[in-house]
Structure 1
Amino acid sequence: FDSWAGLALSRYDYDRYVKPYNSKLIQMVQGRAKVPVIYFSTGTATYLDSIAEMGSDVVGVDWRIGLGEARERVGWNRPVMGNLDPVALLAPWRELRFRIDQVLAEAGEQPGHIFNLGHGIFKNTPVDNVRRAVEYVQAQTVRSREVA
């Protein structure tokens, strides 16, 4: 989880100073872990292709890029995670549901999407909004699988 990657570093600096070490870390964890390795960073839409080269099993994306474009940059064979704007959880239900539907529509029927926020949750986020969002996403994705 790299909150500052794209906010503090250019692609050049990321590739030179961060990527080699993150790549090694990912490889070390993959060698020991029995779970998928997810690499998430914010503000890195313009260099998701470079991030994908590090070899994580899943690439997390923030809300600043559409899922279709993210998948073009990451590769269609790698799962992506994201990308609901965390601010949406502060909105009234009608707006929150609209934003969730946008993410689900963009994810489409293509396998390999993990619905999640495009970054961390705000401490003042209403718990009821989170619960309702989770229940809604689960209901929509189950319904989508039943129709298919």
Structure 2
Amino acid sequence: MTMATQTSLLLDALSLKNNSHRPPIWLMRQAGRYMPEYRKIRTNYSFLQMCRTPELVYEITNLPLKAFNLDAAILFSDILVILESFKKKFQFIENIGPVIEQPLSIPSDVENLQALPANKALYYVKQAIVELKKDLTVPLLGFCGAPFTIASYLIEGKSSRDLKKTKQWLFQDPKSFFLLLDKITDASIDYLNLQIEAGVDAIQIFDSWANCLAFPQFQQCTLKYLEKIMKGLSSTQVPLIFFCKGSSVFYKNLASLKPQALSIDWNENLANIRQNLGLTIALQGNLDPYVLYGSQSIIKTQVESILESMRGDKGFIFNLGHGILPDIPYQNVQFLVDTVKNFV
């Protein structure tokens, strides 16, 4: 880790020690289709080609840093690259999203699922991280998808609003469903340890579909496996951030696992969470990304409302409640970053 990252606002906030007049800011999907520079690269490569090519990962990861001078980089990749460990073929189709070939459909599919070592299946991720760490002057976040979310893609075969097939499987054959979560968890631990060994400064785990679960299943399918991942990481020195979209109602349960930070969606008030938890964990969030379709006046009002509510909080990280949408006006992202950076 370089001296620059040792003294970063992000790592200070993750340690509950940020004494700056403002919080650090980075944005989920900060390198994405809203950027003309990204779209230019995308015309020549498929999304998976971009993820699998360390030189392109290096370039794309740096795009938002050059554009907005953000306080952290997040590795350009996707939560679904871990499927390569299971030799599952998939592709990203424009206006549809990820599509998995031959989704899992019967218990024997789970029994036959075997993971390759991450350093063999996902070696290109390690190469990209190593190259990025040579030059970055801000912390680099690695990430993976939570087991339940990855399982849902393997079963549904694509994005689903209600996860009908996934939840049917969970309730009809819990034994094989939990076996699947176990296998994904083991592969996730291996994958995150590869990222840690390559040099990431922090990790975020995305449980994008946890909001589809009732509390008993949230305990069984999310909390249990997040805890297992925490225990399996090779270093306790790399901060861990949990993000469960639509699950802010479960923030106390997530906090009980004692990650360094919770990333909160826009469904809960950050100041209320801080009041209930005390200064025991960093909080990240939580602007509704749809605000960025509004006028600069609206954006300023919404952003400053969050900043004021968390004023002086030593463990606050400004972010969105989910990723930047592809058609968000570029200039509005710049205005958002400037508003946070100029907050006094």
Does TM, normalized by the shorter one, top 0.5? yes
Partners of 1:95 and 1:43 lie apart in 2 by 23
Runs of 4+ in 1 over 4 A off after TM superposition: none
- TM-fit CA distance, 1:46: 1.8
Classify 1:127/1:60 alpha carbon distance in 2 versus 1 (closer, same or farther; 3 Å): same
Number of residues of Structure 1 aligned to a counterpart in Structure 2: 139
Say whether 1:76 aligns with 2:279. Answer: yes
Amino acid paired to 2:268? I
Say whether 1:44 aligns with 2:247. Answer: yes
Classify 1:61/1:138 alpha carbon distance in 2 versus 1 (closer, same or farther; 3 Å): same
Say whether 1:131 aligns with 2:334. Answer: yes
Q: Which residue number in structure 1 is paired with residue 62 of structure 2?
A: none
Alignment of 1:1-148 (within 5 A): 1-6=206-211, 8-29=212-233, 31-32=234-235, 34-140=237-343, 143=344
CA contact (8 A) 1:59 1:74 kept: no
Partners of 2:276 and 2:254 lie apart in 1 by 9
Classify 1:127/1:20 alpha carbon distance in 2 versus 1 (closer, same or farther; 3 Å): same
Partners of 2:287 and 2:302 lie apart in 1 by 7
Partners of 2:304 and 2:219 lie apart in 1 by 34
Deviations 1:34-86 (A, max 9, x none): 53111111221221110112221111101110012222454431110000111
Amino acid paired to 1:66? N
Partners of 2:307 and 2:242 lie apart in 1 by 21
Amino acid paired to 1:79? A
| TM-score, normalised by the number of residues in structure 1 | 0.86
Larger Rg: 2
User: Quick check: 17-26 or 78-87, which moved more?
Assistant: 17-26
Amino acid paired to 1:114? I
- TM-fit CA distance, 1:105: 1.1
Query: How much is the aligned-residue C-alpha RMSD, in angstroms?
Result: 1.6
Counterpart secondary structure, 1:38: strand
| TM-score, normalised by the number of residues in structure 2 | 0.39
Report 1 or 2 for greater relative contact order, CA contacts < 8 Å, sequence distance ≥ 6.
Answer: 2
Classify 1:71/1:27 alpha carbon distance in 2 versus 1 (closer, same or farther; 3 Å): farther
Partners of 1:74 and 1:52 lie apart in 2 by 8
Q: Which residue number in structure 1 is paired with residue 51 of structure 2?
A: none
